[in-house]
């Protein structure tokens, strides 16, 4: 069933889009992540132009993250104060990221930049995940101690300290704002929510307790991803409403299944598989960067 | 995550004062306001009539996390939190009864974890539950345990009204 995507200016099988949305939604329900980091490269791999894939990708994470945020909010697992500091950085970062994206688009380098970003980020994330899972599977029989986080850091000397009661922290607002800023840029340029990077950053860099990390990261992701989608739609005009609707429908259904599945699965094997999938996507993007193009020269209208 | 099925986890047997009778009152430690009433009732019964108090804390099950290290740290912090809650309450129990309570930590759905514990631990002789004092029903554990399945429970259940004051508790124990 072919549908025409008005912004991407191409026809795609609607069932394929629903399927991708469902699969990514399933994973996001399973692991409590937005899934944009898989969705956007998958869209690029099926031939959606990168600007449209990125601009539409962040939108997908909103659907999954809003329902997660509501659940975490009810349980009181959101540090609103920390969330607002992250968000201040996140809004700045995402606004700047969209400018960067628009500038790259004007120069005609969006495809290259997005692909490089993804190869680097997905390569790192996938590699770490596989390593982590292999270690966990090997260690299952032995009793392995969990790594302790650092207690003292250079960052504790920074000014503008603030008390974050829920996180039981008294730290400068600069590190959380910087973390939010970096995630905001990634969110705009890569079309992701950024939770998969934000959660470890909150734990290992900011030293937040794990109980509030998930809820607070969702708080940041929901608003930053909304901001990115809005800015991309207004500024670059590359959010495809047909594409996003189809993906969202698949995604919401998939997330329900994934969440129900989550408690019945062994984490390590699933995580190893997901890590391999992430690595596979990174490699195919890398291959697209280095292989000799089918047509060495193409003629087309400049944007 | 993987050690939750082990019945020996999270228990610290008391060595102090041998009980006059070896009956054990089990109190479920949730976050409701009426848990204090159940705990006090059980402690007073033990002080007045002998036996021991057992405290059960059911942790939320660990949801799978994207990063394994984060998940492991989360499980550890939940466990520490549960141990902190229990050791705080254990001190209260010890003050009243003079003996250390049995501390039990389980993971999962509270009702399922409780039923599994009752089935596998023969030491427990009475389950003490407190009913919520406000109008919204007695609480999920009581409604599910003392409904249709009440006849199939492996032990008697004592339901303490959550609104009883300390003086009233003294009188009925």
* Closest residue on chain B to A148 (Cα): B73
Q: What is the pLDDT of residue A94?
A: 93
**B67 within some domain:** yes
* Chain B residues within 8 A of A203 when measuring between CB atoms: 70, 73
Instruction: Give the residue carrying structure tokens 């159940």.
Output: B38
CA nearest neighbour of A247 among A82, A75, A44, A21: A21
Interface contact flag, A262 B63, Cβ < 8 Å: yes
Angle at A103 between CA A99 and CA A105, to 5 degrees: 115
Residue B3 lies in a domain: no
Q: Does A33 touch chain B (CB under 8 A)?
A: yes
Whether residue A265 lies within 8 A of chain B, CB to CB, comes out as yes
Q: CB-based contact (8 Å) between A167 and chain B?
A: no
Q: Which residue among B63, B68, B76 places its CB closest to the CB of A132?
A: B68
pLDDT in tens, chain A (303 residues): 788 888 878 888 989 999 999 988 888 878 777 788 888 988 988 888 888 898 888 888 887 788 788 888 888 888 999 999 999 999 999 999 999 988 988 888 888 888 898 999 889 988 888 888 787 777 765 544 445 555 556 666 777 888 888 888 888 888 889 999 999 998 888 888 888 889 888 888 888 888 888 889 989 999 999 999 999 888 888 888 899 989 988 988 888 887 777 666 666 777 788 888 889 988 988 988 888 777 777 777 765
In a domain, B110, yes or no: yes
Chain B residue whose CA is closest to A268: B68
Residue B13 covered by a domain:
no
Q: Is B72 on the interface with A (CB under 8 A)?
A: yes
Tell me what pLDDT residue B1 has.
38
Chain A residue numbers with beta carbons less than 8 Å from the beta carbon of B74 are 210-211
In this structure, the strands spanning A10-13 and A161-164 are: unpaired
Neighboring chain A residues of B107 at a CB cutoff of 8 Å: none
Is residue B58 over pLDDT 80? Answer: yes
The pLDDT assigned to A253 comes to 86
Facing B66 at nearest CB: one of A32, A211, A268: A32
Chain B contact for A213 (CB, 8 A cutoff): yes
Looking at every residue in chain B, the average pLDDT score rounds to: 80
Instruction: Determine, yes or no, domain membership for B15.
Output: no
pLDDT of B35 higher than 80? yes
Q: Tell whether B155 lies on the interface with A, counting CB pairs under 8 A.
A: no
Give the residue from chain A lying closest to B67, CA to CA: A129
pLDDT for res B21: 65
- Tell me which H or E stretch contains A267: helix A267-290
Dihedral pair phi/psi, residue B26, rounded to 5°: -100, 125
Is residue B10 assigned to a domain?
no
Q: Is residue A201 within 8 angstroms of chain B, CB to CB?
A: no
| Residue B4, pLDDT score | 41
B172–chain A Cβ distance below 8 A for any pair: no
Computed on alpha carbons and rounded to an integer, the radius of gyration of chain A in Å comes to 19
CB-CB under 8 Å, A262 with B68: no
Is residue A235 a contact partner of residue A98, using CB atoms and an 8 Å limit? yes
Contact B1 A265 (CB under 8 A): no
Within an 8 Å CB–CB cutoff, is residue B85 touching chain A?
A: no
pTM of the model: 0.76
Question: How many separate domains does chain B show?
Answer: 1
Q: Output the pLDDT for position B3.
A: 41
CB contact under 8 A, B68 and A267: yes
> Which of A24, A26, A27, A31 to mutate against chain B (most B CBs within 10 Å)?
A31
Nearest by CB: A203 against B2, B64, B73? B73
Looking at beta carbons, which residues of chain B come within 8 Å of A192?
Answer: none
What does each C-alpha distance from B36 to B27, B47, B52, B101, B129 come to in angstroms?
10, 16, 17, 15, 10
In three-state secondary structure terms, A300 is coil
First and final C-alpha spacing in chain A? 30
> Would you call A268 an interface residue with chain B, using a CB distance cutoff of 8 Å?
yes
Write out pLDDT tens, residues B76-104: 888 898 999 999 999 988 888 888 899 99
Q: Which of B63, B68, B76, B109 to mutate to test the interface with A (most CBs of A within 10 A)?
A: B68
Residue B7 lies in a domain: no
CATH number for the domain that contains residue B47: 3.40.50.620
Instruction: List C-alpha distances in Å: A283 to A113, A127, A276, B17.
Output: 16, 11, 10, 66
Cβ–Cβ < 8 Å for B160, B131: yes
Domain that holds residue B139: 29-172
| Any A CB within 8 A of B68 CB | yes
In a domain, B2, yes or no: no
For the complex shown, is ipTM > 0.85? no
Interface A-B: count of C-beta contacts within 8 A? 66
Q: According to the model, what pLDDT value does residue B86 have?
A: 92
């Amino acid at each position: 069933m072919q549908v025409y995507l008005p912004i991407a200016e191409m026809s795609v099988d609607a069932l394929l889009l629903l399927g991708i949305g469902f699969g990514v939604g399933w994973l996001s329900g399973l692991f409590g992540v937005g899934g944009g980091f898989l969705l956007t490269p998958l869209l690029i791999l099926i031939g959606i132009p990168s600007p449209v894939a990125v601009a539409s990708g962040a939108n997908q994470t909103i659907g999954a993250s809003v329902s997660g945020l509501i659940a975490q909010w009810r349980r009181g697992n959101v540090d609103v104060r920390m969330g607002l500091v992250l968000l201040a950085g996140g809004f700045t970062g995402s606004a700047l990221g969209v400018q960067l994206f628009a500038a790259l688009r004007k120069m005609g380098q969006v495809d290259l930049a997005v692909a490089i970003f993804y190869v680097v980020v997905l390569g790192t994330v996938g590699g770490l995940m596989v390593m982590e899972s292999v270690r966990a599977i090997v260690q299952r029989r032995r009793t392995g101690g969990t790594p302790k986080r650092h207690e003292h850091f250079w960052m504790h000397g920074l000014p503008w300290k603030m008390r974050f009661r829920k996180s039981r922290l008294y730290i400068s607002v600069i590190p959380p704002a910087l973390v939010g800023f970096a995630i905001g840029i990634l969110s705009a340029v890569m079309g992701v929510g950024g939770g998969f990077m934000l959660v470890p950053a909150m734990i290992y860099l900011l030293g937040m307790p794990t109980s509030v990390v998930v809820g607070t990261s969702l708080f940041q992701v929901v608003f930053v991803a909304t901001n990115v989608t809005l800015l991309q739609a207004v500024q670059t005009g590359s959010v495809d409403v047909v594409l996003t609707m189809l993906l969202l429908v698949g995604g919401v259904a998939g997330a329900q299944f994934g969440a129900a599945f989550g408690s019945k699965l062994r984490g390590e094997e699933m995580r190893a598989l997901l890590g391999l999938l992430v690595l596979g996507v990174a490699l195919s993007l890398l291959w697209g960067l280095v292989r000799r193009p089918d047509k060495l020269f193409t003629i087309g209208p400049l944007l | 995550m993987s050690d939750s099925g082990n019945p020996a986890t999270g228990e610290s047997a008391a060595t102090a004062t041998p009980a006059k009778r070896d009956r054990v009152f089990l109190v479920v430690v949730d976050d409701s306001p009426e848990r204090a009433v159940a705990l006090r009732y059980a402690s007073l019964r033990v002080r007045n009539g002998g036996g021991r108090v057992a405290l059960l804390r059911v942790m939320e099950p660990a949801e799978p996390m994207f990063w394994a290290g984060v998940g492991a740290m989360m499980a550890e912090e939940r466990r520490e939190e549960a141990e902190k809650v229990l050791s705080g309450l254990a001190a209260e129990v010890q003050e009243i009864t003079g003996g250390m309570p049995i501390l039990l930590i389980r993971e999962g759905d509270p009702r399922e974890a409780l039923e599994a514990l009752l089935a596998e631990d023969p030491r427990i002789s009475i389950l003490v539950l407190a009913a919520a004092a406000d109008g919204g029903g007695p609480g999920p554990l009581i409604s599910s345990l003392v409904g249709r399945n009440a006849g199939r429970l492996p032990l008697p259940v004592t339901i303490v009204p959550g609104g009883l004051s300390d003086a009233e508790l003294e009188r009925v124990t």
